[in-house]
Amino acid sequence: YLMAQPITQLELLLGKFIGLALALGASLGIGFGLTAVVIALRGGSTTIRAYLLLMLLTMLLAIATLSLGLLISTAVQRGATAVGLALFVWLLLVYFGDLGLLGTALVLRLDVQQLFTFTLANPLQLFKIAAIMGMGNNLEVLGPAGIYALRTYGSRLLPLLLGLLVLWIGAPLSLAGLLFQRKGVL
């Protein structure tokens, strides 16, 4: 019944995306806001900059997964299939994290540069690296790939990670828009 309204398919998709992104942002904002109050009352030692960066990163990751979810729901016909596929993609991203990358690096004998490139292909890993940097921790805790990232990109690493997270929002959303215009269902 939504397509009976005088709006285009792209406007419908973007409207759903913006509405869901605002709902995610509001719920995360409330959660982080209440947590900030508790931290302030308890005399926490976290800097406001690090806390705001963590909040921004969390929102970017949430919106990136929303974008992936919209792509999945646009690509398949049934809701149950979309839920199953979304769960599979999430588990794939989680398991392609630390242990998956470690196993892949061992089996394929990846060098540090290739390992870091694989790391950049996962939004959860982008979030993790940026969060560790934002908290002022040294990326040496990530092993050789962390050291490589710092030496290669230095102060440009955080903007690179943020840009890639934004790309994880835009690319799936753009693909969802193309699919939706082609198929006409959401």
The C-alpha atoms of residue 51 and residue 132 are separated, in whole angstroms, by 12
pTM, rounded to two decimals: 0.86
The C-alpha atoms of residue 32 and residue 92 are separated, in whole angstroms, by 27
In one-letter notation, the amino acid at residue 134 is G
How many other CB atoms are found less than 10 A from the CB of residue 116? 22
In this structure, are residues 124 and 97 in contact, taking their beta carbons and an 8 Å threshold?
yes
Could you state, in order of their start, the residue ranges of all structural domains in the chain? 2-183
Kindly give the interhelix angle for 123-134 and 144-153, rounded to the nearest 10 degrees: 70
In this structure, are residues 150 and 112 in contact, taking their beta carbons and an 8 Å threshold?
no
- Give pLDDT tens digits for 3-62: 677 888 888 889 999 999 999 999 999 999 999 999 888 887 778 888 899 999 999 999
Report which of 141, 139, 159 is spatially closest to residue 149, judged by C-alpha positions. Answer: 139
- Give pLDDT tens digits for 132-186: 888 876 777 777 778 888 888 988 999 999 999 999 999 999 999 999 888 765 5
